[in-house]
Each structure stands twice: as C-alpha cells, then as structure tokens.
Amino acid sequence: MPELRSAPPVLIDTAAGLGELCDRLAGEPLYGFDTEFHNERTYYPRLALVQISWAEEVALVDPLVVDLAPLAAVFDGPGMAVAHACDQDLQILETACGAVPARIFDTQLAAGFLGMSTPALSRLVEKELGVSLPKADRLTDWLQRPLTPEQLVYAAGDVIHLLALHRTMTARLAELGRLEWALEECAEALANRRLAIDPEEAWWRISDHRRLNGKARGVAQAVAAWRERRAAELDLPRRVILPDLPLTALAHKPPRNRRELDAVRGLEGRHLGGGAAEEILAAVRLGLELPTPELRLPAERTDDRGQEAAVAVAAGLVHQMADELEFDAGLLATRADLRDLLLGIPSRLDQGWRQTIVGENLRRLASGELAVAFDGRGGLLLEERSHRPAGTA
C-alpha cells in the first residue's frame, strides 16, 4: 500500500510537464483523481488544483497556469478512473477540459454496497485501510500562489489512497457477489451526472416553488431564467444577482412599475443597478404573458396520501433487507422509488440489481400476490397470500 510521502508531491505547472504526465497515464489501467475548487463568490466554480494518482505516484496540476485540455485524451482512454463522491468534480473537469473519464469507480457509491452510507473519504480510508488522513482546513485558499508544502501534502492525501481503496473494496465486493452491482451503479451515476442548468427550469430550485400557482409560475420561470443568465454572464452567485426571497415575492405579487418593484420584500438597491431593475420588470411582464405550453413544470411528485401506509410497509421491508445484507438502505431504494413502484410509475426498481434484490418482490406485493406478516420476533416476512379474510374488528 502506498504511503504518503514526506516530501511534497510533484507540482505540474507547465504545458510540457502536463504532456509528460498524460503520456505516463496513457498506459495505466487505473488512476485516481480529485479537484480543489472555490464556488463561494462566482457562478462557475473556480478550479484551483487537479490531483492525480497512479501506481505509487502523485501529481498535482495547476490549472491557473496550465491548459487542462490534454487531460481529455487520458479521460477518453481505456483506464478506469477512481474517485470519491466525484459528481461535482466531473462537472468542473468537463468545463475545464471538455471531457470526463469514460469509466469511473466512485468509492463513496461503492461503499453503499458494503453497508456504509455515503462515508467521507477520511472515514472510508481509516475503515478500509487503517490510515488516518490529515484533517482538512476548511478555510484553505486553494487559489493562492505559491501553495504551501502543507497544502500540497494535504491535496495529495485526497488521491494517494484511492487505488488501494479500489483494490480492497473490489475484492470485498467480488467476494459478496456485488461488484457488478457497484460497477453498474457507478456507470449509471456517470451517465446521469449533473449537467448545466436549463435557465427555463431554474425556478425549480426555489425552495417554495411547488406552492406557486397560476401566473406566479410563469413569473417565477421568467425571472429565475433572467437571474440564471445574468449570473452566468457576470460570473456571480445567483444570490448576489437576486436572492430567492424577493424572487418568490415577485412571483406572488408581480410589480407593474419601478415604484412597486422598489417595495418588494428583500429587494435592495444593489440588486437593481446596471439596468437590472428594467430587466426584472421586463421578465415579470414576460412571465405574466407566458403561454401555457411554454411553462416548464417540474415532474409531479408521487405523493399520493392513499399510498402512505403502503410506502411505510415497503420502506420497512427495504430497511430490513438492507440490514440483513449489510447494505445502505438509501442506496437500495428511496421513498420516491417506492412511491413510483406502488403507483405503477417506471422506477429504478424495475431494472438491474435493484430489481433483482427488491423490485420484483415489491412489485408482487403491490399487485396482491404477496403479503407481509410479522415473524414473531419483531421482523417482517413476505409470504404467498392465502386470500382468506381474517375477519373484521
């Protein structure tokens, strides 16, 4: 198992150095990666560092001085990329170099098949490898230059154990017969990774968006779309352009003029400068006149009050199955998955390993072929239905 070096890892800050690294990685069957970034003050996360490990080596690539485009060839290659909770890393890397790894092993996702619920990397490394990682400094400024030796060592710690984790976890998963399930889940997560937000759907991110009705929805859609585009154009956080509170207030009570706009709750002068006031009013008018076919509505939730008891029973079964399998119950099936299945809506439980473990039996339970009974020890049993009424109270 590779150990963290006492000397700082190699820092790559030239195009030639990155080219040599890509040549080294081209023939590697496995490589680990991670990123350091800041997103507090910008719309687009600012990539500050890319960490890559392979064999027993670690390289830290400085994206502030090196174009990361050559990494696309590595990502498109045959090697398997190993990372931990990499959804946002993938989004950032795709923006930076136009590609993401073609094959991913996400150690956090895979940990769910070993009974751990979304563990932090430090916990997973300690549990699986018996190694304690240095604690993170949440206030570290990764955009400062030069990076300190302590920063370099900490950054290397995020990737240096990934390949050892891959070895131990895949061995355990294979022994349990779950390796293919984990790989399938990682491939699905890669295929369904977060993409750029459609401005016309940005209003779905407002916490109270499901309480909006009628014209308020159109106004929310139009104003949120304006905010999304302006935030992207100026590379500023959405909250700096327009916080959710005044956006929701605009939707509930659309202003007709500047005087009414100035009276909107939570709206301050700093939100209205640079022509923003006129643009907000224009977006409000657009939203009020938005044709019904152009209104983008989020998928209807499957919260059917008549299904609450059935969902509760199914959830109890799922938790029991997860306990027996030493499995993460949330990975096995969410309540949304269960609601969809019970309402006959296509769900993740209809395919792959989830169908094998839980979907098929729950489908038979929902159709009335199976019944649930207590086993006399506080547990639940699935049984063939007798169809003999038990009588009434």
CATH code of the domain in which 378 resides? 1.10.150
Q: Are 251 and 219 spatial neighbours (Cβ–Cβ below 8 Å)?
A: yes
Instruction: Tell whether 180 and 255 lie within a shared domain.
Output: no
Q: Which domain holds residue 90?
A: 10-191
Task: List Cβ neighbours of 283 (8 Å cut-off, separation of 6 or more).
Answer: 219, 222, 223, 225, 226
CA distance 112 to 291: 45
CA distance 215 to 252: 9
CATH code of the domain in which 117 resides? 3.30.420.10
Number of structural domains (the chain) is: 3
pLDDT at 109 over 80: yes
Instruction: Tell whether 108 and 257 lie within a shared domain.
Output: no
Query: What tokens were used for 233?
Result: 């154009």
Q: Token match 């895979």: residue?
A: 110
369 belongs to a structural domain: yes
389 belongs to a structural domain: no
Instruction: Tell whether 109 and 209 lie within a shared domain.
Output: no
Instruction: Tell whether 44 and 186 lie within a shared domain.
Output: yes
pLDDT at 294 over 50: yes
346 belongs to a structural domain: yes
Residue pLDDT, tens place only, 216-270: 999 999 999 999 999 999 999 999 999 999 999 999 999 999 999 999 999 999 9
Average pLDDT over residues 29-55: 96
217 belongs to a structural domain: yes
Instruction: Tell whether 38 and 144 lie within a shared domain.
Output: yes
Residue pLDDT, tens place only, 87-97: 999 999 999 99
- Provide the whole-model pTM: 0.87
CATH code of the domain in which 244 resides? 1.10.150.80
